[in-house]
Structure formats: structure tokens, C-alpha cells
Chains A and B, each alone.
Chain A
Amino acid sequence: MSNVDFKTRLQNWLPKLVLSPSLVLVLVFVYGFIAFSVYLSFTDSRLLPSYGLVGWENYSKLWRLSHWKTSLTNMGIFSVLYIGICTCIGLCLAIFLDQKIRAEGVLRTIYLYPMALSFIVTGTAWKWFLDPSIGLENVLQSWGWASFEFDWIKDRDYAIYTVVLAAVWQTSGFVMAMFLAGLRGIDNEILKAAQMDGASNWNLYRRIIIPQLRPAFLSAFVILSHLAIKTFDLVIALTGGGPGRATELPATFMYSYTFSRNQMGIGAASATIMLMTIAAIMIPYLYAELREKN
């Protein structure tokens, strides 16, 4: 088409031109780097990247490390409890808040504010609050409950649950907000119809309302699971991975193997496994979301 003038042609190119810096950044810094890290996981890199390929050796070493197994077990315990409890608390609070509660705005603000804090701040607060020598145990004993003991944060078998507690404290309010938005989006007339049909409150929620919150459940699950896998700062601030290795997670494992123990190959292998796990959850979700909005 010969009569397409320069200005029009420029206008046709501008959108692509303007998008390209972001695109280049993302392609290089995200996908290029992912490729590089995955590549490193097949090399003998230790303190610095090295390019001697060693096949699957890092992965087989990784799976023999008790440290890694501990991290994975902890990850399992942590993510199941964290996602489960956050969802329960979030859903209950949202349902309760949806009953024409006075001061709903204030309560909502209180439930949500921990989300604005850094995990380091959260970790610091809970670290001292759970510390038996000055925290809750000490307080309750001084209030006269001499036999009260609460030293989970110092206990190898229980420390991981304190991580769950602090993480739930931080994010359950956010989950509440997601469910509340879902509840407010339900057509009131359906509820009225169900009541006309004689449904009790219990049945109303169980049979009519909660099934309609499916999208909210799904988004909550996706967001919580990806937060769980990425949990790092909270453990650093709350327990430092201890006592011993009792609260190590894959994220802290990767960090210490890569930067303190100079086992970059193994660190990269663990990061690759983390990425794959998140991708397995996120890609189907994003795919479905993007298709839907077509």
C-alpha cells in the first residue's frame, strides 16, 4: 500500500516500540536468567559460576542431602498448615464481617494492616513475643500461671509451627479481604430466593454461598501457595532457620548453599526445583485466567 504515509506508519510501529524496553527487560532479566540458573544447575559451579557440565549430579547430590529433605518436609508442613489455616480464618472472618457488623471498616483495617508490614518486622515482633524468657511464657507465669510453658520457638519439633503462626498472622487478613469481595459480589436475589425456599443459614452458606466463592478460593490458593514457596525473610527474622535446621525452607536452603556454603550448582538446582513447583501451580491458573478474559 503505497499511499500509507510516514506518520501513519510510525503510529503503527510506536506501540511495539514503546513496549519493547519492558519486554527486553523481562526477557533478559527473567527468562534469560532462568535459563542461566537452570544451566548452572547442571555445572560444577561452586563459589563462582563455572561452565563444566556435570549432568544431573547436582540434583542427585541435592536429593541425598538431609538438609534439603528437612527443608522439603518443613515446606510440606508449613504450606499445608499455612494455606489451610489462612483460608479457614479468612473465610470465617469474611462471613462474620458480612453480617452487617458495626465498625466493619475499623475491623477490616485492623485485620489487614499486617499485610503492609515487612516479614522482617513481623518476624522480629513474633520472635520476642514467643521468646520464653521475655515473651508470652514469661508474662503468663508472672500473672500467676506458674506451670505455663510455651517454648515452641526454641523447640526443634515445634519451631516450624511458630513460623506458621507468624505467617498466618501476616496474611490471613488479606485472604479475608479476598473472600469478602467475593461475598459482596454474590447476587442478593439468589440469597433471598434461597431463603424463600426455606434454607437455614447453615445450608445457605454451605449449599449456595460458599460454592459461589470458587474463584476466590482458587485465587487465595494460588496466592498463598506462591507466598509459601517464596517464604524466606520471615524465617530469617523469626528463627534464622533454627533451632538447628528445624525451620529451614527451600528458599533459605538455596540462599545458604549458594552464598554461604559456596555450592552454587546445588543452590541453582534447588532454585530450579522451586521454580518448577511454582510453575506447576501458576501456569495453568494464568492460562485459564487469560483465556477467560478473551
Chain B
Amino acid sequence: MGFLDIDNTTKSYGALEVLHKVDISIEEGEFLVLVGPSGCGKSTLLNMIAGLEEITSGEIRIRGSLMNGVHPSRRNIAMVFQSYALYPNMTVAKNISFGLEMHGVPKAERDKAMADVSSLLQIEQLLGRKPGALSGGQRQRVAMGRALVRNPDVFLFDEPLSNLDAKLRVDMRTEIKKLHQKLGTTIVYVTHDQIEALTLSTRIAVMNGGYVQQLGTPQEIYDNPANLFVATFMGSPAMNVLPATISVQHGKPVACVALPDGTVVPLRLSQENLSAWEGKQILLGIRPETITDEDGADRNSKNVVNFTNRIIVTEPAGSDTFVTMSLGGKDVIARMRSDANVQPGNDFQFAVNMEKAVAFDPATEERIAS
């Protein structure tokens, strides 16, 4: 039994089931990120943990005690909302101490807790202001302060950074990570931003269509996506997915991919068991950063395949240059060093690290296990 157990939990509105048998168990101090496109059920799940939405079936337990039907304020949780949900009519100090006041904590203790939290978050100078007079980043801090001051068992974050501009978002991300490392709190964090998920979490649950598609560490999710959805949802630019036919050459499986001019490139696969797919089609998943020029190829890899292809578009992005080519009838993006000598319309010698490539069954879209 974990610290927070979500056990076979479903949610239905009338006949419509929006969350299907979710099963997640996390340990104390974990940082679980629920990530997925909008409408995937991640916020619903968070609200069910918070007690803001009823649980249709299944159980949610915190520290072993059943939470079904327990009022949100009695679950010893705290939540940071997307809009921050600061009470507009109260000062920052009041906002932070309101929850303690409602729980009957004496004034002296409240003040002490507030002083601690506000120095931790460096918002002492804001205590007398009202939320309307704060910047986005300051509101964000106050919202976190309001959650922290309660010293809850579990922190719930509902897309807390999505209202901030890009730069502030990155800063606050770091800040949240620091806070988690410092305080060792248990966090469940909802976002639609896969980078936030990868950077913050100790574990990620990728959700889509009311199902948990995959639950695992960021590394597992990124390197070994369970299915096509997870593969393309996580990572930016997204993983290239192209149809390929398996043949066996010298006893090893090879993915045959067509170039625009009709020639076929044989990409040797590292997964031996794919030989079983000989003659059949698979979907080959290749991350952009595993396609480079020859110099940039991973020297530790035992399986780098070179091939020549025409460059269609180049997109310099400062630190990297993204190169688009056509492979297997799809646009495929490669991530080059910024100084790579690439020109649109030219032929170029690419190197692809096939150790990192993954294969999917086109019928089920599940990854073909190695």
C-alpha cells in the first residue's frame, strides 16, 4: 500500500464514463505528474483526489484511510489552482491564513506559520496587498503559500503554470522543483505540457481518453513509450513515426524505408525479435535528436545507420537546427547541431541511432516489446 492509492477508480456522468479504472499508487515524497491533452480526464482525477468531484466507483486512500465521501477540507490536502483562485477581497496574509482560520488554528500559530511560509517563498513584502495588485508570478507564489501553510499530506497542482508567460513559467518550474527537493512533499501535478511533466516529475501518468496510457519514470516514458500516443505526445518536436517493412538480412531484422526517389534505405534494427515481423509492416518511431549528421552521431551507440536524403526545409533554432526530409512518405525531422552545414534542396548524409528507435504494431498502435 502506498502513501496515496488510487484504486480501480472510475468516474461517470450519468451513463458516460469519463475515467476508466485508474490504478495508481504513489509513495511519500513522490512527484506524480498527470499529463495529457485537454479532456483526457487528468483534472477530473485530481478533483477526485481533492474531494471536489465524487468517486463513481473504486477507492482513493491517503495514508491508508479511505477518502471516498470525505469532505475536501478533511483530507489534509492542499491545492494550487490554474487561476490561483486567490480570494479577491482578502489581503495576501488573509488568503494564506484563511484555511488555518477555518480549521480553528489559534491566531498566534497562524501568524507563525504564515511568517515561515512567506519567508520561504519570499513574499513577506506582499502580505498587506490584495491579489488584484499582484503580478502573475506573485499570485502564483501566494497560491503556493496558501497551500504550503497547511502542511498537508498531499499537494495538488492543477496546471499552475499555464497562466504565466513563457519565461516566468520556466523560472517557476525550477522553483517548484527546488521546493519539492527541499521539503520532500508528496505532489500530484496536472499539466498538458509534456516538458513540465518530464522536468518536474519522479513519475508520470500519461492520460488520454480517460485511460492511463502509461505510468512510469520520465526516462521510461520517453525512451520506451508504451504506445503510439505516448510516443508522439511526449517530446518536442514529436517523435517521427513512419511506415516501414521488415525484412531479415544476415539474420538481423531491418526496417526498409522508402526515400522520395523510390530507393529503399535499410535501417538495421537493434531489436532482434522483430525478425518475427518479416514481410510485415510496422510503424517505426525515431526521435528527432537521434537523427544527426555523421559527426554528431552517438559514439556509444553500437547501431548507427547512415543514409543520404534530400533536405526539404531547415529551421535554425539557435542551439539546434531542425532539418525536415521526406522518409517513408512522411515528413521527418532531424535535430542537428546549429553549425551543421545544411541547405534546403541539397542532399545530405544523415546518421540515425537505431538503438533508440522503437517499433509499433500498426493495428494496435502498441509498442512491439523487445
A and B in direct contact, judged by CB atoms within 8 A: yes
A interface residues, Cβ below 8 angstroms from B:
1, 3-5, 7-8, 11
- Give a binary string over B58-98; 1 marks a CB under 8 Å from any A CB, 0 the rest: 00000000101111001000000000000000000000000
Return the contact of A5 from the options B66, B68, B70 (Cβ within 8 A): B70
List the 7 shortest-distance A-B pairs measured between CB atoms, nearest first. A4-B69, A8-B71, A1-B69, A1-B68, A3-B66, A3-B69, A11-B71
Across the interface, do B71 and A3 meet the contact criterion of CB distance under 8 Å?
Answer: no
Distance in Å from the Cβ of B367 to the closest Cβ of chain A?
39
A11 to B51, CA, bound (A): 13
Residues of A within 8 A of B69 (CB): 1, 3-4, 8
Using a Cβ cutoff of 8 Å, how many contacts connect chains A and B?
17
Chain A interface mostly: loop
- The 17 sampled A-B contact pairs (Cβ below 8 Å) are A1-B68, A1-B69, A3-B66, A3-B68, A3-B69, A3-B70, A4-B69, A4-B70, A5-B70, A5-B71, A5-B74, A7-B71, A8-B69, A8-B70, A8-B71, A8-B74, A11-B71
Distance in Å from the Cβ of B55 to the closest Cβ of chain A?
9
Chain B interface mostly: loop
Distance in Å from the Cβ of B59 to the closest Cβ of chain A?
10
Distance in Å from the Cβ of A7 to the closest Cβ of chain B?
7
Residues of B within 8 A of A4 (CB): 69-70
B65 to A, closest residue via Cβ:
A3
Instruction: Report how many residues on chain B are interfacial, defined by Cβ distance under 8 Å.
Output: 6
Residues of B within 8 A of A7 (CB): 71
Residues of A within 8 A of B71 (CB): 5, 7-8, 11
Residues of A within 8 A of B66 (CB): 3
B66 to A, closest residue via Cβ:
A3
Distance in Å from the Cβ of B36 to the closest Cβ of chain A?
25
Distance in Å from the Cβ of A170 to the closest Cβ of chain B?
39
Residues of A within 8 A of B70 (CB): 3-5, 8
A4 to B74, CA, bound (A): 11
Within 8 A of A (CB), among B26-81: 66, 68-71, 74
A200 to B66, CA, bound (A): 70
A4 to B, closest residue via Cβ:
B69
A222 to B118, CA, bound (A): 55
A8 to B51, CA, bound (A): 11
Residues of B within 8 A of A5 (CB): 70-71, 74
Distance in Å from the Cβ of A44 to the closest Cβ of chain B?
49
Distance in Å from the Cβ of B69 to the closest Cβ of chain A?
4
B67 to A, closest residue via Cβ:
A3
Distance in Å from the Cβ of A11 to the closest Cβ of chain B?
6
A3 to B66, CA, bound (A): 8
Residues of B within 8 A of A8 (CB): 69-71, 74
A5 to B70, CA, bound (A): 7
Residues of B within 8 A of A1 (CB): 68-69
Distance in Å from the Cβ of B42 to the closest Cβ of chain A?
23
Further 4 A-B residue pairs, CB within 8 A, beyond A3-B69, A8-B71: A3-B70, A4-B70, A5-B70, A5-B71
Distance in Å from the Cβ of B276 to the closest Cβ of chain A?
50
A4 to B68, CA, bound (A): 8
A7 to B104, CA, bound (A): 15
A7 to B73, CA, bound (A): 11
Distance in Å from the Cβ of A252 to the closest Cβ of chain B?
49
A146 to B351, CA, bound (A): 106
Distance in Å from the Cβ of A9 to the closest Cβ of chain B?
9
A1 to B69, CA, bound (A): 7
Residues of A within 8 A of B74 (CB): 5, 8
A8 to B, closest residue via Cβ:
B71
A4 to B69, CA, bound (A): 5
